[in-house]
Amino acid sequence: MRNEKIAQILDNAAAKAIPVAQMSQLENFSLENAYKIQRISINRRLERGEKITGFKLGFTSKAKMEQMNVHDLIWGFLTDEMELQPDEKIDLKRWIHPRAEPEIAFHVSKDFPDHELDLEELPQYLDKMAVAIEIIDSRYENFKFSLEDVVADNCSSTGYVIGDWKDLETKISDLYIRLKINDETIQQGKTSAILDNPLQSVVELSRLATESNIAVKEGYVILAGAATAAEYLKPNQTVEAEVEKLGGISFRINE
Ligand code: OOG
Ligand code: MG
């Protein structure tokens, strides 16, 4: 199958909220090809008028790698269509089998240069941070995939909600983070679970973006990846993420 065809199948699966078989079971494709498919599917979104709003990193913690049985860091695109408002009532029918995970978001204050950034340089390029909830929705049946599959599927990107932006702090590698559903703590951990320091996710992004010649622009949002496993969403839930010092953010799901 051509890359264009795979991108089209995954894009349609997302639009119709109907899962598809794992592409890697129909045909072997390389990780490099998987990123090419991801780009083609993002271009389809851009052609429909969506705008890139940032990037997400995935599998930056052991908890996530173990939950999904995939063991390499991945990255994908965020678009304005994925941005949800905290006061929005969310209807699950638009997705296949959505899950939520608590995250930290960073706000890009200056276009990244065309070289890899190190931790010390990051405050020149980031100004804010916030608690976020990412909603992921694999387009594959049973939420099962190989590394190549999930990359081609834009890393299950589906939705994100961002809390109030706070000034960037650099000592954030030991903060308590949790996901609550209907006031009950369902997932919890420390931000150190994210590559020892969530800011390291931004370093990785700068490396990957430089290697792929992709621009990380002022105004973009970067999701550092979940510190904990993700939880399936059900009707009638209030979903909340909290990070020590950063506060919380929540949204409500319709009946
Ligand atoms: C892939 C996306 C992983 C994270 O934060 O680790 C991710 C998935 O689990 O479906 O977003
Ligand atoms: Mg995530």
Pocket test for ligand 1, best of 101, 194, 222 (most atoms within 8 A of CB): 101
Q: For residue 182, give both structure tokens.
A: 């209907």
Residue written as tokens 């992921």? 136
Q: Give residue 89's pLDDT band: very low, low, confident or very high (50, 70, 90).
A: confident
pTM recorded for the entire structure? 0.97
- Cβ-based neighbours of 199, under 8 Å, separated by 6 or more: 106, 119, 122, 170, 172, 173, 224
Tell how far the Cα of 188 is from the centroid of ligand 2, in angstroms: 15
Decide whether any atom of ligand 1 lies within 6 Å of the 139 Cβ: no
Decide whether any atom of ligand 1 lies within 6 Å of the 82 Cβ: no
**Residue pair 39/152 in contact by the 8 Å Cβ criterion:** no
pLDDT tens across 124-136, in order?
999 999 999 999 9
Q: Which residues of 131-150 are buried (b: 16+ CB within 10 A; e: fewer)?
A: bbbbbbbbbbeebebbbbbb
**Residue pair 176/190 in contact by the 8 Å Cβ criterion:** yes
Tell how far the Cα of 150 is from the centroid of ligand 1, in angstroms: 9
DSSP reduced 3-state for 177: strand
- Give all strands (DSSP E) within 9-85, no chain letters: 52-58, 74-79, 83-84
pLDDT tens across 176-200, in order?
999 999 999 999 999 999 999 999 9
Q: Give residue 5's pLDDT band: very low, low, confident or very high (50, 70, 90).
A: very high
Any bridge partners for residue 157, and if so which?
136
